[in-house]
Amino acid sequence: MSHNTFGHLFRVTTFGESHGPAIGCVVDGCPPLLPLTEADIQADLDRRRPGQSRFTTQRREPDAVKILSGVFVGDDGAQVTTGTPIGLLIENVDQRSKDYSDIAPKYRPGHADFTYDVKYGIRDYRGGGRSSARETAMRVAAGAIARKVLPGARVRGALVQMGPHRIDRARWDWDEVGKNPFFCPDAKAAAFFEEYLDGIRKAGSSVGAVIEIVAEGVPPGLGAPIYGKLDADIAAALMSINAVKGVEIGAGMGAAELTGEENADEMRPSNEGLPGFSSNNAGGVLGGISTGQPVVARFAVKPTSSILAPRRTVTRSGEAADIVTKGRHDPCVGIRAVPVGEAMVACVLADHVLRHRAQVGGFRSWPAGG
Ligand SMILES: Cc1cc2nc3c(=O)[nH]c(=O)nc-3n(C[C@H](O)[C@H](O)[C@H](O)COP(=O)(O)O)c2cc1C
């Protein structure tokens, strides 16, 4: 049984453990002749890389990606994809497995230790092995390739809430996202988060976050009815990220509080290739198919489970125990989840572009007959 692959036509398989020699992935189904270099992938990986500020784990991993296969330098000197499987590898260089020897017989609360053990009868206790979010580096690498399949689309993410503190959406500025260590679009909120998260970090505690992903330039028509819905695939992809406990599309859970008049996005005639939508409560998806409006998804990331405070737990043999996780951990894993969320949405969109082409062909123009 294999559950390490996702996507139908843009297909990503990842492998590797937190404290093994390397992590990697195979991206199969990528169309040929797309320009692709290691630098293209590295730029996205560098945004997820640990140890870049005091607010993320101090594990020092350069996350240098190697392309092993699937590219070729053409006659014009440009390296392009060949349409064959693209193999990517990142070596693990800063494992400190001894940090984990004390906890080998104990289950860390909030981690996958108990569930892996009860399912498989064996677990790699060094940093959680396969359950570690180290694996998400390969999702980001695959996402960088997916972006190449989406030339007109732009997939961006931002942290919009930390603990109970929400940003002021009126101050949303995408240019701010790259200027603070939180991927936060509200400069004032970012300044507040700095002080707030320092307090949490110094107390040896942790806090959760909400991340919003916005994909602009998505053509209308992506996604398929019933079991191939674009929003369902995005929700599954985001929910598969470590520590994610909630996903919503568009107005999401808030839609339950709206009336029909408030919620249904009205349409007016337009010559822009799309109806003029008055709002985007649908998050860019109706009936599982993209409307051409921005696709908007949010996901909630739980607080880091490994904290300095001692916690109560049980051992493999069922005895009561106390546990203190040493290791190096992010006080808010939601921060580094931002590029991971972008990558998952990019992979889903790339998969749906190829699925749309396979079944329907090109994209239709609107107004119909226009
Ligand atoms: C980018 C990222 C980094 C993470 N780093 C840590 C960490 O340093 N310590 C920790 O306890 N959990 C961390 N997590 C979360 C755990 O991997 C996750 O909670 C654990 O594997 C249990 O899985 P679940 O929360 O999805 O059920 C991280 C998650 C993400 C997305």
- Over residues 38-78, the pLDDT tens digits come to 999 999 999 988 777 777 766 677 899 999 999 999 889 99
pLDDT at 96 over 80: no
Residue in 99, 100, 107, 242 to alter for ligand 1 test, most ligand atoms within 8 A of Cβ: 242
pLDDT at 103 over 70: yes
pLDDT of residue 59: 65
Which atom of ligand 1 is closest in space to residue 329's alpha carbon?
8
CA atoms within 13 A on the CB side of 274: 16
Which atom of ligand 1 is closest in space to residue 330's alpha carbon?
8
CA atoms within 13 A on the CB side of 57: 26
List of residues 6+ apart from 314 with CB closer than 8 A: 106, 107, 320, 321
Kindly provide the b/e burial profile for residues 98-111, where b requires at least 16 CB atoms within 10 angstroms of the residue's own CB.
Answer: ebbeebeebbbbbb
Residue in 324, 333, 338, 344 to alter for ligand 1 test, most ligand atoms within 8 A of Cβ: 333
Q: What are phi and psi of 339, to 5 degrees?
A: -65, -25
For range 12-23, the mean pLDDT: 96
- Tell me what percent of the residues of the chain surpass a pLDDT of 90: 86
Q: Ligand 1: residues whose CB is within 6 Å?
A: 57, 111-112, 128, 131-133, 136, 241-243, 302, 304-306, 329-330, 333, 336-337, 340
pLDDT of residue 189: 98
Give the distance (Å) from ligand 1 centre to CA of residue 302. 8
Residue of 94, 37, 95 whose CA lies nearest to 67: 37
CB 141 within 8 Å of CB 44: yes
CB 137 within 8 Å of CB 12: no
Give the distance (Å) from ligand 1 centre to CA of residue 330. 9
Residue of 137, 138, 156 whose CA lies nearest to 147: 156
Confidence grade of residue 97 (pLDDT, cut at 50, 70, 90) = low
Give the distance (Å) from ligand 1 centre to CA of residue 211. 15
Give the distance (Å) from ligand 1 centre to CA of residue 113. 12
Mean pLDDT over all residues of the chain? 94
Confidence grade of residue 284 (pLDDT, cut at 50, 70, 90) = very high
- Over residues 128-142, the pLDDT tens digits come to 899 999 999 999 999
Give the distance (Å) from ligand 1 centre to CA of residue 66. 25
Beta partners for 301? 209, 244
Give the distance (Å) from ligand 1 centre to CA of residue 130. 11
Kindly state the helix (H) or strand (E) to which residue 196 belongs, with its residue range: helix 187-202
The residue whose CA has the least distance to atom 24 of ligand 1 is 243
- Tell me what percent of the residues of the chain surpass a pLDDT of 70: 97
Confidence grade of residue 1 (pLDDT, cut at 50, 70, 90) = low
- Over residues 143-170, the pLDDT tens digits come to 999 999 998 999 999 999 999 999 999 9
pLDDT of residue 105: 93
The residue whose CA has the least distance to atom 13 of ligand 1 is 304
Give the distance (Å) from ligand 1 centre to CA of residue 136. 10
Taking the C-alpha atoms of residue 256 and residue 252, their distance in angstroms, rounded to an integer, is 8
Which atom of ligand 1 is closest in space to residue 128's alpha carbon?
21
pLDDT at 370 over 60: no
pLDDT at 327 over 70: no
pLDDT of residue 328: 64
Lowest pLDDT segment from 93-97, 173-177, 307-311, 316-320: 93-97
Which atom of ligand 1 is closest in space to residue 335's alpha carbon?
1
Give the distance (Å) from ligand 1 centre to CA of residue 110. 9
CB 218 within 8 Å of CB 290: yes
For range 189-205, the mean pLDDT: 95
